[in-house]
Amino acid sequence: MRDRTRSPRLLLVYCGGTFGMHETGDGLAAQTDLGDVLSGLVDAWARRHGHPVDWRLAVPRSVIDSAEATHGTALEIADLIRERVAEGISGGAVQAVVVVHGTDTLAHSAAQAAFALADLAIPIVFTGAQRPIGIPGSDAERNFDDAFREALSGEEPGVRLVFGGAAMPACRAVKRSSEAFDAFIARRPAARPVDGVGSELAEALAACAHAPAPRVGMLTMVPGLPAEMLGAALDAFPEGLVLECYGSGTGPLVGPAHLETLRRARDSGTPVLAITRCEDGAVDLPRYAVGAAIAAAGVIGGHDLTAEAAIAKLRALRRAGLAGAALRSALDRNLVGEQQRSGSAPER
């Protein structure tokens, strides 16, 4: 618990997004300099809650519409947080972090931070807005206020997403609406028990900060998916591919060319992780012959990971240097609450 007799030390990270956008005549665009607006919001929060906040603003190299995010953007944000937390504020340790981010890839960046910063024992809260600050009916100030409250509540550490009056584990959050104020949801609760990252992986996550982002991506199964498309995806994402499968981990992948493509990926060291597109349930590759065939070709079952968490977990582990059996073992563990192992009942 933090010392409530002094001002809490909080790092505020502004990444862009709808929260701080303005009309350009060609549509909304992110404002790069929102310092005065954010300072006013912090001051207003402090007045409402009765004491000041000792805070510092950090901004990534590029302030963007989050739809412009690349495969390295989320890790750049995580690395910035790690760097500024290490520096501290006013000679003391940072006690909490709030990140203002665009909604399109908010769940992706929050999930990435959950894994890349799993060794940091402080609350890190991501938020954003569906309507820009200053626009009538905007949700920006409410979400900002809620995020501050969540970050400074003194509750358990970890990465959370706060939006539309709800707080949820970042490793379970998904965007469900492009318009509603309650745009994000965690359909699955944080999985328990949490294995944790352990000291060795924690050291690796810290040591790899600012290393290049591994090229990890996703391919969604559709009927008739050609083997050439599977091969192209593996070429594009040589450090890891997530397959968003049907049901319990099936897909149009059992033709000779598909299986040979998967075997080549396995032999070349490209991990392939299968998840389900279903909102409920988990991957169980041996359940059907189709799933068993791709498992034999090297595909790894991803339990009930969300797409965002699957990409983030695989990318974080690859950047930390994991491969082969060590990678498979880490993917099978519930590191931060991201996955319920197949066959085990979630806690309610």
For 24, which DSSP code?
-
**CA 174/CA 187 separation, integer angstroms:** 8
For residue 72, pLDDT beyond 50: yes
150-154, 308-312, 315-319: least confident range:
150-154
Residue that has been written with the tokens 């809620």 in this structure: 146
Please report which confidence band the pLDDT of residue 79 belongs to, taking 50, 70 and 90 as the band edges. Answer: very high
For residue 145, pLDDT beyond 80: yes
Average pLDDT of every residue of the chain: 94
For residue 303, pLDDT beyond 90: yes
Query: Are the beta carbons of 55 and 9 closer than 8 angstroms?
Result: yes
Please report which confidence band the pLDDT of residue 31 belongs to, taking 50, 70 and 90 as the band edges. Answer: confident
pLDDT score, position 105: 98
| Concatenated DSSP letters of 113-179 | HHHHTTT--SEEEEE--SS-TTSTT--HHHHHHHHHHHHTS----EEEEEETTEEEEGGG-EE--SS
Please report which confidence band the pLDDT of residue 1 belongs to, taking 50, 70 and 90 as the band edges. Answer: very low
**CA 249/CA 44 separation, integer angstroms:** 49
pLDDT score, position 343: 52
**CA 221/CA 258 separation, integer angstroms:** 12
Same fold, 9-185 and 215-332: yes
Please state, in angstroms and as integers, the Cα–Cα distance from residue 106 to each residue in 68, 109, 208, following that order: 12, 5, 23
**CA 125/CA 208 separation, integer angstroms:** 22
SS (H, E, C) 273-323: EEEECCCCCCCCHHHCHHHHHHHHCCCEECCCCCHHHHHHHHHHHHHCCCC
What would the mean pLDDT of 285-293 be, rounded to a whole number? 97
**CA 328/CA 28 separation, integer angstroms:** 43
**CA 267/CA 150 separation, integer angstroms:** 45
Residues with catalytic annotation? Answer: 103
Query: Domain 9-185 carries which CATH code?
Result: 3.40.50.1170
Question: 18-28, pLDDT tens digit by residue?
Answer: 998 887 777 88
Q: How far is CA 113 from the centre of its chain?
A: 6
What would the mean pLDDT of 143-151 be, rounded to a whole number? 97
What would the mean pLDDT of 7-29 be, rounded to a whole number? 88
- Class of 215-332 per CATH? alpha beta
In this structure, the strands spanning 21-23 and 28-30 are: antiparallel
Q: 39-77 burial, b if ≥16 CB within 10 A, otherwise e?
A: eebbeebbeeeeeebebeebbeeebbbbeebebebbbbb
What would the mean pLDDT of 59-70 be, rounded to a whole number? 93
Question: 205-264, pLDDT tens digit by residue?
Answer: 999 999 999 999 999 999 999 999 999 999 999 999 999 999 999 999 999 999 999 999
Domain segments of the chain as ranges = 9-185, 215-332
What would the mean pLDDT of 81-107 be, rounded to a whole number? 97
